[in-house]
Structure 1
Amino acid sequence: MGYIEALRQIVGHRRLILNGSCAVLVNADGALLMQQRNEPAKRWGLPGGLMELGETTRETVVREVAEETGMRLDASALTLLNVYSGEGMRTAANGDQFDMVTTAYYAEHVTGTPQVADAESLQYRWVPFDQLPTNIPAAHRHAIADYLARAGR
């Protein structure tokens, strides 16, 4: 059982602050790795997930990408992009309430073929930046925009 599941056994559905990490991963063709998740509502987003006890935000994104895609990231290749918060309270499908703090990293010239490796993911695609889906979480949209600004696009 992970940290969040154990914490939820104690606090139930009460509002929590959750910390997570995501990654803007760009391949040599300049396409972005996007993940379509089961929940919520089959939205598209960046690979990543919630922090476990004892992890750094960088370790979180390396672990999550490996768990979700089967791809191994070199932690030293990740560059801090920004930290996002203040999106307001959210409620998960099971009634859990939370506020999210998301730390985003980016890496360029990423290689590998992502595979659906967990029940959270429906599919992965390398998507050109001018063809991004519209149903992307706010923090992920901000991370993509910040990456594009940094890359001069």
Structure 2
Amino acid sequence: MLIIGYVEDLRRLVGHRRVLLNGCCAVLVNDDGALLMQQRNEPARRWGLPGGLMELGESTKATVVREVAEESGLRLDPDQLHLLNVYSGEGTSVAANGDQFDIVNTAYYAEHICGTPRVNDAESLQYCWVPFSLLPDNVPRTHQHAIRDYLALKAKQADKG
């Protein structure tokens, strides 16, 4: 059984002190070869990949499926998700409210994603299918790494072709 609100409960105990968080994101590509990007309210209207933080009892794959459904309404088949990489050691971040954290981010990718994402929560401002040649500049580092690694994987697959 999932205990929802793990990070909120943790913050009540430790305040703004530095903690280690586990996040997950997804490189989701449609049939036109465009990437699903999410513009979030915080921090500072940044663009990024859909995803979020793990809850107690969740697998990384389950986190991606849950977060994408909660935030965009898109339903992912867990069998479509392929592990891309795990990113860590990016340094400490500080949220707008002063919370300090380091993150371990697990990235997956899935292709042939269909559907129209819609804003389902206060975290998101909008979703767009964006061609890889037109990606926004203000993307978190771990998401930039995931996008870069996905493109490298596709180039390698094309070379073996």
If the TM-score is normalised by the length of the shorter chain, which range does it land in?
over 0.9
Q: CA RMSD in A?
A: 0.8
Q: Measure, in 2, the Cα distance between the counterparts of 1:66 and 1:141.
A: 22
- Partners of 2:110 and 2:60 in 1: how far apart? 15
- What residue in structure 2 maps to residue 17 of structure 1? 20
1:80 maps to what in 2?
83
Aligned residue in 1 for 2:122: 119
TM-score, normalised with respect to structure 1: 0.99
**Structure 2 residues without counterparts, runs of 5 or longer:** none
**Corresponding residue pairs, total:** 153
Residue of structure 1 aligned with 2:39, choices 36, 39, 55: 36
Instruction: Give ranges in structure 1 of 5+ residues lacking alignment.
Output: none
CA–CA distance in 2 between the matches of 1:97 and 1:27? 35
Which residue of structure 2 lines up, in the alignment, with residue 50 of structure 1?
53
Report the Cα offset of residue 65 of structure 1. Answer: 0.2
Query: How far, CA to CA, are the matches of 2:10 and 2:26 in structure 1?
Result: 25
- Looking at structure 2, the residues matched to 118 and 48 of structure 1 have their Cα atoms a distance apart, in angstroms, of 13
Alignment deviations for residues 107-130 of structure 1 (CA, whole Å, 9 cap, x no partner) = 000001000000000000000000
Q: Does 1:67 align with 2:70?
A: yes
Give, as a single letter, the amino acid of the residue that structure 2 aligns with 1:149: A
Residues 60-111 of structure 1 deviation map (CA, whole Å, 9 limit, x = unaligned) = 0000000000010000100000000111001000110000110000000000
**Distance in 2 between residues matched to 1:118 and 1:19, nearest whole Å:** 21
Q: CA deviation at 1:59?
A: 0.4
Are positions 1:96 and 2:94 aligned together? Answer: no
Tell which structure's C-alpha radius of gyration is larger: 2
Where does structure 1 differ by over 3 angstroms across 4 or more consecutive aligned residues?
A: none
Cα distance in 1, alignment partners of residues 111 and 58 from structure 2: 23
Match of 2:108 among 82, 105, 108: 105
TM-score (structure 2 length as normaliser):
0.94
